[in-house]
Amino acid sequence: MPVPKGSTIDPVRTRAAILEAATPVLYERGLDGIGVAELCAHLGVSKETLYRHFGSKDGLVRAMLETRSERIARWLAEAIAAAGHDPADQLAAVFDVLQQWYDDPAFRGCAVLNAAAQHHDQTVRAITERHLDRYLELLTGIAVRAGAPDPHTLGRQWLMLVEGATAVAAHHDKVSAGEHAHRAALALLPATAGARG
C-alpha cells in the first residue's frame, strides 16, 4: 500500500510517495507516453489526490525532474567523496557510477535530457540547464583539485564525455561506454595540465 487512505495521516508523505512512484514510470514510458489516468492507476492514487498535490501534470513532471536532478547530483557527489583525495580516483568513481547506471536494464538515457527533448517548455529548459550546471560543478571541482591550468574548460570537456557516453550507451552500445569515456577523460588530464606527480 503505497499511499494510506485516511486523513491527516501524512500530507507530505503522500506527495513524496507519488513522486517516488511516478519517477520510474515517467522515465520508461516518456512524459507524453502515458496519460494521467493510467499514471494514477500505476501509482495507486486517484486523480484528485494527484491534482491537489501537484496542480497539473506539468507540475508533477517539474517536481519529478527537479527531485531526480538533485538526487543524481547528490549520488555523484557522494561517489566522489567516497573515492578519497586523489582526483584521478574521483574521476574513476564518476565513470564507474555511470557504467553501473548504463548496465541497468531500465537505462534509457538521462531522464532530464530526454525530458528536455520532449517539452521545450521554458521551465523544463531551466531545470535541464541547472542539471548540467550541477554536473559541471562537480567535474570542475575534480579538475581544480587535479591542478589543471584551465579547470573550467577541462570540466566542460569532461561534461561532454559524460553526456556523450550516456547518449552512446543509451542509443548505440552500452558495453564499456563508461570505461572508454573514462580513458578519454584521463587522456585530457595530462594534456591540459602539467599536473600529476
Partner DNA sequence: CAGAGATCGAACCGTTCGGTACGATCCGGG
Partner DNA sequence: CCCGGATCGTACCGAACGGTTCGATCTCTG
Query: Which stretches of the chain bind DNA, using CB under 7 A?
Result: 3-11, 14, 32, 34-38, 44-49, 51-53, 56-58
Q: Confirm or reject binding of residue 74 to its own copies (CB under 8 A).
A: no
Q: Confirm or reject binding of residue 99 to its own copies (CB under 8 A).
A: no
Q: Confirm or reject binding of residue 136 to its own copies (CB under 8 A).
A: yes
103-115 in b/e burial notation, b at 16+ Cβ within 10 A?
eeeebebbbbebb
Q: How far is the CB of 119 from its own copies (least distance, A)?
A: 8
Residue 81 class from Cβ within 10 Å (0-12 exposed, 13-18 middle, 19+ buried)? Answer: exposed
Q: Confirm or reject binding of residue 42 to its own copies (CB under 8 A).
A: no
Q: Where are the alpha helices (DSSP H) in the chain?
A: 11-29, 36-43, 47-54, 57-81, 87-103, 111-118, 122-145, 151-171, 177-192
**49 or 156: whose CB is closer to its own copies?**
156
Q: 122 contacts which partner out of DNA, its own copies, none, CB within 5 to 8 A by kind?
A: none
CA angle 46, 11, 72 (to 5 degrees): 85
Q: Confirm or reject binding of residue 161 to its own copies (CB under 8 A).
A: yes
**In whole angstroms, what is the distance from residue 36 CA to residue 138 CA?**
36
**Residue 24 neighbours by CB distance under 10 Å:** 12
**55 or 190: whose CB is closer to its own copies?**
190
192, 190, 176, 101 alpha-carbon torsion, rounded to 10°: -60
Q: Confirm or reject binding of residue 109 to its own copies (CB under 8 A).
A: yes
| Segment interacting with its own copies (CB under 8 A) among 10-18, 40-48, 89-97, 165-173 | 165-173
Q: 46 contacts which partner out of its own copies, DNA, none, CB within 5 to 8 A by kind?
A: DNA
Q: Confirm or reject binding of residue 162 to its own copies (CB under 8 A).
A: yes
**10 or 150: whose CB is closer to DNA?**
10
| Segment interacting with its own copies (CB under 8 A) among 45-53, 89-97, 98-106, 174-182 | 174-182
Q: Confirm or reject binding of residue 100 to its own copies (CB under 8 A).
A: no
Cβ–Cβ under 8 Å, residues 81 and 74? no
